[in-house]
Amino acid sequence: MTAYSDLMAFQRETEALAQVMGRLGWDQETMMPSGAAAQRAEEMGALETVLHARRTDQRLGDWLEHAVAPDDVAAANLRHIRRSFERSRRVPARLASELARVTSRAQGIWAEARANEDVAGFLPILSEVVALRREEGAALGEGADVYDALLEGYEPGTTSSELTAMFTALRPRLVALRDRVLSAPEPAQLTGIFPEEGQMILADVCARAFGYDFTRGRLDKAVHPFSSGSGLDVRITTRTNPADPFNCIYSTIHEVGHATYEQGIDSAHFLTPLGQGASMGVHESQSRIYENQLGRSRAFTGWLYGRMRDIFGDFGIDGEDAFYRAINRVSPGFIRTEADEVQYNLHVLLRFDLEQALMRGDLQVQELEAAWNDRFLADFGRPVDRPSHGLLQDVHWSVGLFGYFPTYSLGNVYAGCLHDAMRRALPDLDGDLARGDASGAVQWLRDRLQRHGGLREPRDTVADAIGGGPSEGPLLDYLETKFGSLYLA
């Protein structure tokens, strides 16, 4: 027991320091004065050095060797710490620091290239990032698949072949649904100007409707919406655009999904490896089920219509049904982050296939733009019109996030399964949502999934919640039913 309790005392400090890093990131995006960026980089760099040293500290190896797990919780803690320790030690310090240096530079070059539609200006640094991440993947994998080794960092216990099976089943039905929907008449679109103060009031109302605990968090504006922190301090941000209140509302509900997951974890796991969401994919399942299956449902949007009218008066959409259609409007577009439920996963699948090929050496960086554009034409039925609508649109690859994209679609698949099970368990859910009351849904997710944090492996976390292995079927059925009735009825 001594080795285990020493280990956990050390780990608790590491978790607390990791939370501090989260505070700095939050502050940077919300409160930090513009002229403080150079200092913030030094502050975060120094803290990262401390964290890296702790994560590779040789004492961890000794404690792990002698620690005995008295119960499931302890076994799970040891599993997390061992995985982190072994992964951290496999990456040579030289490579880790090179990656930090190059990706930091690459992010700036990417932003400039995107602004200038300049693919050629981005590819050289992307090649460097790709080479370094392939090297890292090889070190992490120790002979196993490079891409799976990277994926493991975001979605432990999940392999690319499992995802490929899932996504291969998704793609044709999504392409077909997209085709049919976009051939149907377009519904009315929201127009007009919606004052930002009113949007923030709505954001607050929606956050509360979805169970966000403001005594352990706060809601601010930022350029990019995000959720930050675990435990007793989980903060979210949203953004406002006078022409697009839906963006503010649904960004907020999405982040509330992430945040209430963290807030819903059993306090026994506070500042332990279990005190955070199980994986990126499981996290995304929470944000997406809040945002889409619940937040964009006919029942909830009916209630939301009333709140919109309370704040903005008559805004030109006549009735709850038209409002529901406007919110769930599907239109041709190039940008993943703006995509509707029907098309979103097609964007992700495209990136998943391309990044696997890049990591495995089956696709060269010089061939990437052509590959992107070919695939986009095949799945979306029209050509990419400019690089910022194509391969320059996402920041992810510039900062080395290979293996991250598929967790978005995995999260949607999980959300589909959870929604299916939740509907069976809560027959009156729509009645509640129609009154703006998502507490039943939130409580169901909390009891079945959120409270366990990282206790179980990600896939098992979802499987236990739904009572069986997750699959893509429920998501597809849900989408075909919903958008069938919206567009094809």
The residue among 235 and 336 lying less far from a copy of itself, judged by its C-beta, is 235
Residue from 3, 6, 17, 239 in contact with a copy of itself (CB under 8 A):
17
| The only residue of 6, 196, 213, 464 in contact with a copy of itself, by rule CB under 8 A | 213
Complex with a copy of itself: residue 20 or 201, whichever CB lies closer: 20
Say how many residues touch a copy of itself, by CB under 8 A: 39
33 is an interface residue for a copy of itself by CB under 8 A: yes
Rounded CA separation 389/381 (Å): 15
Which of 38/489 has CB closer to a copy of itself?
38
Contacts of 168 (CB under 8 A, 6+ apart): none
The nearest distance, CB 43 to a copy of itself, in angstroms, is 5
377 contacts a copy of itself (rule: CB under 8 A): no
Q: Interface residues for a copy of itself in 248-287 (CB under 8 A)?
A: 270-271
Q: Does 29 bind a copy of itself (CB under 8 A)?
A: no
Does the annotation count 196 as an active-site position?
A: no
79 φ, ψ to 5°? Answer: -60, -45
- Structural tokens at position 82: 């061992």
If binding is defined by CB under 8 A, does position 217 make contact with a copy of itself?
Answer: yes
**Could you tell me where the DSSP H helices lie in 264-315?**
280-288, 298-312
Least gap, CB of 215 to a copy of itself (angstroms): 4
DSSP for 81-93 reads HHHHHHHHHHS-H
Question: DSSP states of 148-169 as a string?
Answer: HHHHTTTSTT--HHHHHHHHHH
- Report if residue 214 touches a copy of itself, rule: CB under 8 A: yes
258 labeled binding residue: yes
216 lies in the binding site for a copy of itself (CB under 8 A)? yes
Cα separation, 213 vs 196, whole angstroms: 23
CA distance 475 to 468: 15
Q: Pick left, alpha or beta for residue 331 (phi over 0 → left; psi -120 to 50 → alpha; otherwise beta).
A: beta
Burial letters 377-405, b for 16+ CB under 10 A, else e: eebbeeebeebbebbbbbebbbbbbbbbb
Runs of H (alpha helix) within 31-92: 37-55, 58-66, 72-90
Residue of 136, 152, 255, 355 with catalytic role: 255
- Kindly write out the interface string for residues 38-67 of this chain, putting x where it contacts a copy of itself by CB under 8 A and - elsewhere: xxx-xx-xxx-xx-----------------
187 within 8 A of 329, measured Cβ to Cβ:
yes
Residue 16 or residue 176: which is nearer to a copy of itself going by CB? 16
Give the binding range for a copy of itself (CB under 8 A) out of 74-82, 164-172, 208-216, 409-417. Answer: 208-216
Least distance between a copy of itself and beta carbon 24 (Å): 7
Instruction: Quote the CA–CA distance of 413 and 409 in Å, as a whole number.
Output: 6
Pairing of β 235-238 and β 219-221: parallel
Task: Find out whether 254 is annotated in a ligand binding site.
Answer: yes
Instruction: List residues binding a copy of itself (CB under 8 A).
Output: 12-14, 16-17, 19-20, 23-24, 27, 31-40, 42-43, 45-47, 49-50, 213-218, 231-233, 235, 270-271
Report the binding-site residues.
254, 258, 284
Active site residues: 255
